[in-house]
Amino acid sequence: MTVQETPVLTDELPTAVGWPRRHVLKAGAVAVGAGLLGRFAQAADSPALSQADYVQMDAWGMAQA
């Protein structure tokens, strides 16, 4: 059985290891943000809820609080 050597921690190692992770996280955040923007844009164009209905619902919610 051989003993595995642990890598020497230098300034270069965390950068090399962390770089792909950051890009994956950024890409995921951009994808989620784009999906949410699409949903909000679709909801804003929907005639199902008028501004007066929204104000009335908000007033009802504040009265319940």
Q: Is the pTM of this model over 0.85?
A: no
Q: Which of 37, 57, 36 is nearest to 48 (CA)?
A: 57
pLDDT tens by residue, 23-65: 888 888 998 888 888 777 666 566 677 778 878 888 888 888 6
1: helix, coil or strand?
coil
Spans of all domains in the chain: 19-44
Going by the DSSP 8-state scheme, the letter that residue 3 receives in this structure is P
